[in-house]
Amino acid sequence: MFNISILTIGDEILIGQTLNTNSSWLSAELSKIGANILTQSTISDNKVQIINEINRLFEISDMIVVTGGLGPTHDDITKITLCEYFDDHLVLNEVILKHLESFYIQRGRTLLESIALQAQLPSKCEIMFNSVGTAQGMLFEKEGKFLISMPGVPSEMKAITKESLLLFVKSKMVELKSKVKVHKTLFTIGVGESILALKIGDQNKFLDNNSSLAYLPSYRGVKLRISVVASSFEKGNKIISKIENVIMQKVGEYVVSNELENIMELISLKLIEKSRTISVAESCTGGLLGGALTELAGSSAYFNGGDQVYSNNDKINRLGIKTETLIDFGAVSKETAIEMSENVRVLHNSYYGLSITGIAGPDGGSIEKPVGTVWIGIATPNSSKAICYNFGKNRTVNRELSVGYALSMILNDLNSM
């Protein structure tokens, strides 16, 4: 396999000021073409650390992909350090200088001297052109191994990756006749990781040394990722198909997708396909469900609106929940959940009404209704129902799980049509 390590350079990453989205994005893109991601590491803008880490990663990798430290300020030392590491020196690249001048003229700005220095590049490297910024990507080779350095600005890193890096990696994998690592993910919902593992049973009965199955739990469901090492994508996909068939026989009732990994993508597609709209009434989740349903662009095609009715007064005055319902059964009850879903559906003129009412915690529970008790209601023009869950004592977990299970109820109903 073609083994790649990803190295992020930047104090802002280490101290938590900036989220390291570059590494996860790079890993995903490189994995799509069959490369094997060995490791991700993050270090500070320090010459000794950079050199030591490159030495370590070259011992285990065919390629190191570096992001960060290529800006025009004094603390961006990656380019100078790479020159020292590869026994190189900086030279003026006239082509890049003209690009920088044009880049700034088009934006009505003057090219500063500090930015012009970005045209000073190592003489031995191959330039990977940055079409959206000023810091260029640089490709170095040493003893048959490669290092590619790119800026840390996500838009610039992504442009260089799509326009140059992926093409280069593909060509090297073909040249070296590297094996590929192929992945496929099955998305399940409405079942826990431990139950899935129990039902799937002994993996050794259908996996070998070149294949693996990983369980990736989240609040919205468990992903089952199948990975296979093979001589080609075609052969790898054939092996994956056989493994997938075994898994589907065991837990197929819980699998909602083998293509889309984001449940909201799936729900969105189905709502639009079936011309269904939805509205929500939330108590303990305080808007999280509405946020989930609108996280994708184009959600206005199916999301009609929602109401956060945290207090009993709001439930009565905004949603028209009957006072006797709250007195007789309480805010956290089957009856209230159903009434909330029915009323919000009518209020917003939607096909679906979805409601959540519960005791998120850490206080407020009782013997009859302990912390973590949540009722989720769903209403359509033809029927309504509510299901009770008890998620435990962690407030954050309770709220997130409530959203996940509410989404699963919508998906299950969409799938039943």
Q: 259, 356, 344, 336: which is closest to 303 by C-alpha? A: 344
Q: How far is the C-alpha of 279 from the C-alpha of 354, rounded, in Å?
A: 6
**196 and 334 housed in the same domain:** no
Strand segments (E) across 2-102: 3-9, 36-43, 63-67, 90-92
Average pLDDT over residues 46-73: 94
**CATH for 284:** 3.90.950.20
Average pLDDT over residues 178-193: 92
Residue type, 336: T
Q: 91 vs 94, 124, 148, 256, CA distance in Å? A: 9, 10, 18, 56
Choosing from 257, 275, 298, the residue where a domain stops is 257
Choosing from 160, 175, 190, the residue where a domain stops is 175
Q: Compute the mean pLDDT over every residue in the chain, rounded to the nearest whole number.
A: 94
**202 and 318 housed in the same domain:** no
Domain region containing 25: 3-175
Residue 224 pLDDT > 90, yes or no? yes
Q: To the nearest 10°, the Cα dihedral for 235, 241, 242, 245?
A: 180
**229 and 161 housed in the same domain:** no
Residue 333 pLDDT > 80, yes or no? yes
**CATH for 235:** 3.30.70.2860
Q: How far is the C-alpha of 237 from the C-alpha of 230, rounded, in Å?
A: 9
**Residue written as tokens 């994005």?**
25
- Return the pLDDT at 250: 97
**308 and 354 housed in the same domain:** yes
**Residue written as tokens 């590494």?**
23
Q: 201, 252, 243: which is closest to 225 by C-alpha? A: 243
Positive or negative, the CA dihedral 44, 48, 51, 54 is negative
Q: 110 vs 97, 102, 113, 369, CA distance in Å? A: 13, 10, 9, 67
**16 and 161 housed in the same domain:** yes
**142 and 8 housed in the same domain:** yes
Highest mean pLDDT among 61-65, 74-78, 96-100: 61-65
Q: Which residues contact 153 (CB under 8 A, 6 or more apart)?
A: 133, 135
**CATH for 147:** 3.40.980.10
Quote the number of domains for the chain: 3
Instruction: Kindly report, residue by residue over 357-416, the tens digit of the pLDDT.
Output: 999 999 888 889 999 999 999 999 999 999 999 998 999 999 999 999 999 899 989 988
**171 and 184 housed in the same domain:** no
**90 and 139 housed in the same domain:** yes
**158 and 52 housed in the same domain:** yes
Instruction: Kindly report, residue by residue over 131-160, the tens digit of the pLDDT.
Output: 998 899 999 999 999 999 999 999 999 999
Are the C-beta atoms of 305 and 348 separated by less than 8 Å?
Answer: yes
- Return the pLDDT at 218: 87
**398 and 288 housed in the same domain:** yes
**149 and 247 housed in the same domain:** no
**25 and 92 housed in the same domain:** yes
- Global pTM value: 0.80
Choosing from 257, 275, 293, the residue where a domain stops is 257
